[in-house]
Structure 1
Amino acid sequence: MVSLRPSAVDAPDARALLEEYFALRAAIFPGGAYRTVFPSPETFVEPAGVFVVLDDDEGRPVGCGGIRRIADGPHGTRDEVKHLFVRDGGRGQGWGRAILEELERRARERGAAELVLDTHHTLEAAGGLYARSGFTSIEPYNDNSNATRWYARPLTPQ
């Protein structure tokens, strides 16, 4: 059974996942212009944000993602999804959705009214996950040079 746990973004297992994620993105990014920016550890520490690692049924870290508080938007307080990643061997098993659902749950607990994220159009599986999870396309809310699509999802208290 897989499990999700909070983690420091600079913990060795989280760092290894992010290094793999950034390397994969850089290898396939159109024009080779992917800009890698490792997050500052305080970005994903409450109250600024949270970072989670997904461990497979053997306890190996296989995925990660985080949320961080950004400037309020038209619907109120916003958390932004960052660095949602599942290793190749774990894809297609619903683990990306599990991470995203956990981040949504935590965003609600933190009082966020909306989740936003950016992605690149070449990440088709990610775009599909976001659409199936209720995210809709919005105008750009940042100037991320790695992004070509921006999404939002209102959060209702549960």
Structure 2
Amino acid sequence: MPDLVLRDATTAADLAQVRALCWAYRDHLIDHAPATRALVEHFYPEDGYRATLEALPGDHDAVLLAWHGDRAVGCAMSHPLEDGNCEIKRVYVAPAARGLGAGRVLVSELVVRAEARGQARVLLDTLKTLESARALYRALGFRERGPYAPLPPMEADALCFYEKVLT
């Protein structure tokens, strides 16, 4: 069985893989639970989401792909925040690759890079109902906290917010 390999998504082909995984992520969130559809369509409206993905890498300081053999099976990215910290976004692993440790490897690498850049904290959020994601973040040393940006109540109530303080 091939090993899991991470690489930066820098080529047009790599970024196309990231976009495809991000659309699958959006679909997963919509299908995850009946209550999440309205939230996802509000937070990630199709046109705005498309524009965000087309602009990749944009202001992201890292856009990563996890490969298993010749298949891109996961992605994650981070971008700097105005306060000098960074936020991890769009961590997604394709269903067929879950259990291989791709999510752990992707998030861990983004944390290592944030620390190397001298950032003091890494922030992220996830749906309260995504228990496996929440367990992963806790296992990687993230602590639950309140929202780190102003959000409408509909979004703030559905999300869990996490931070990891770096040394």
Counterpart in the other structure of 1:6: 8
Counterpart in the other structure of 2:29: 25
Counterpart in the other structure of 2:80: 69
- 1:7-62 Cα deviation digits (max 9, x unpaired): 14972111111111111111224432113234332122xxxx21100000x22100
**Alignment size in residue pairs:** 147
Equivalent residue of 1:43, what SS? coil
Counterpart in the other structure of 1:53: 65
Q: Confirm or deny: 8 A CA contact 1:9 1:15 kept in the other structure.
A: no
Question: Quick one: distance in 2 between partners of 1:18 and 1:5?
Answer: 16
- 1:90 to partner: Cα distance: 1.2
146-155 vs 102-111, which moves further: 146-155
Q: TM-score, normalised by structure 2?
A: 0.81
1:1-158 matches, within 5 Å, as 1-8=3-10, 11-31=15-35, 32-33=37-38, 34-35=40-41, 36=44, 37-38=49-50, 39=52, 40-41=55-56, 42-44=58-60, 49-56=61-68, 58-72=69-83, 77-142=84-149, 143=151, 145=155, 147-156=158-167
Amino acid at match of 1:43: D
Cα separation, partners in 2 of 1:15 and 1:125, compared to 1, 3 Å: same
CA RMSD of aligned residues (A): 1.9
Equivalent residue of 2:161, what SS? strand
Structure with more helix by fraction: 2
Question: Quick one: distance in 1 between partners of 2:22 and 2:86?
Answer: 20
Amino acid at match of 1:94: G
Structure 1 unaligned regions, length at least 5: none
- 1:95 to partner: Cα distance: 1.3
Question: Quick one: distance in 1 between partners of 2:124 and 2:101?
Answer: 19
Question: Quick one: distance in 1 between partners of 2:18 and 2:64?
Answer: 8
Counting aligned pairs with the same residue, the percent is 31
